[in-house]
Chains A and B, each alone.
Chain A
Amino acid sequence: MSVITIERKVLEKNDEVARRNREVFDDHGILVLNMVSSPGAGKTSILERTLEELRDKLRIAVIEGDVQTDLDARRVAKYNVPAVQIVTRGGCHLEANLIQEAMGSLKLDSIDLLIIENVGNLVCPSNYDLGEAMKVVVASTTEGDDKPLKYPAMFRNASVLIINKIDLLPYLTSDLATLKDNALKINPSLTVFEVSCTTKQGITQWCEWLLENAQRRPAS
């Protein structure tokens, strides 16, 4: 019996494509967000509010990932921004090569901010680098305040946490401070925003922060 020792990362192929995507984004000075959350936390609603607020200030494009249908791309198309829909047909996450393909349909020279909305899933997308500058995880108050402890990988790998549906807090037993505490226990360096897409509370703070970060990335 002979043993071939290889010590190879299983996802190295994805990581390699992600690295190339990142190089292309950096060359074009595009800030890329990978938005992740469980289904129904409000990624698309946050995206819509963000487009309303920032579409006159930044050139924004969107890549929508869904298991089925182009409903989200159609919601986004109303805002007159370039949007590409990726339908994974059962796939539980986006992979770097899907983003590479989608990039072919976008005019990269005329984009400042690219928002990738991942498939609603708090487990699988945390393993797959897409070439983004940062992961933005959305947690809604209705999901309970223990989500970060149950899905630590996603919160650990994210740079930003947006807590959505804060207008519903009076009707819920989940506690905002506990939710934040739990998230910071997993990842003390998270930048946290508290928003409601219904009342638009907190949206301006998030958008101002995003605008500042997008403007800080001139094309190299």
Chain B
Amino acid sequence: MHELSIAQSIVEIVGQYVPPAQQEQVRKITVRIGAMAGVVPDSLEFCFSAVIHRTPLAGAVMEIEHVPFTVSCQSCYTTSETEPGLALCPLCGSVDTEVKSGTELQVVSIDVDEATTGAP
């Protein structure tokens, strides 16, 4: 349900880098979503398209970089991908683990088409 407010935050962040007059040139917004970020990528894409509808950003697409949930084990010194959220090391079963990735929720980059920049 909160994908809508996340989509709005993404558009707000884009606005800090690209002024409204140039937003029509934005082609792609890349976001990074961890497996345990609590965000449903399909919902986010749907909400994003609703938020940009009839705005200068309407021509932009969202690209999602998925990040797996990984833990590093302090007992067997390995880093492995595991079921999102589980603290158990999938190799040795230890609970003495540290989350290495999977909680990301970031705007990575914005692709702007310069060819049309400044065009009337």
Contact = CB atoms under 8 A, between A and B. Distances in A.
A117 B33 CA distance: 28
B112 interface: yes
A106 B9 CA distance: 29
Main secondary structure of the interface of A (DSSP, over half): mixed
A185 B86 CA distance: 6
Q: How large is the interface on A (under 10, 10 to 19, 20 to 34, 35 or more residues)?
A: 20 to 34
A188 B95 contact: yes
Given A1-B111, A126-B38, A184-B95, A10 B84 contact: no
Interface in A1-37: 1-11, 13
A92 B10 CA distance: 19
A3 B109 contact: yes
Nearest to B8: A10
A163 B57 CA distance: 47
Contacts, number: 96
Nearest to A182: B86
Contacts of B51: none
A187 B36 CA distance: 14
A7 B114 contact: no
B17 A186 contact: no
A27 B47 CA distance: 39
Contacts of B88: 185
A152 B36 CA distance: 8
B109 A6 contact: yes
Nearest to B108: A7
B37 interface: yes
B79 to A, nearest CB: 17
B13 interface: yes
Interface of A: 1-11, 13, 91-93, 95, 121, 123-124, 126-128, 149, 152-153, 155-156, 184-188
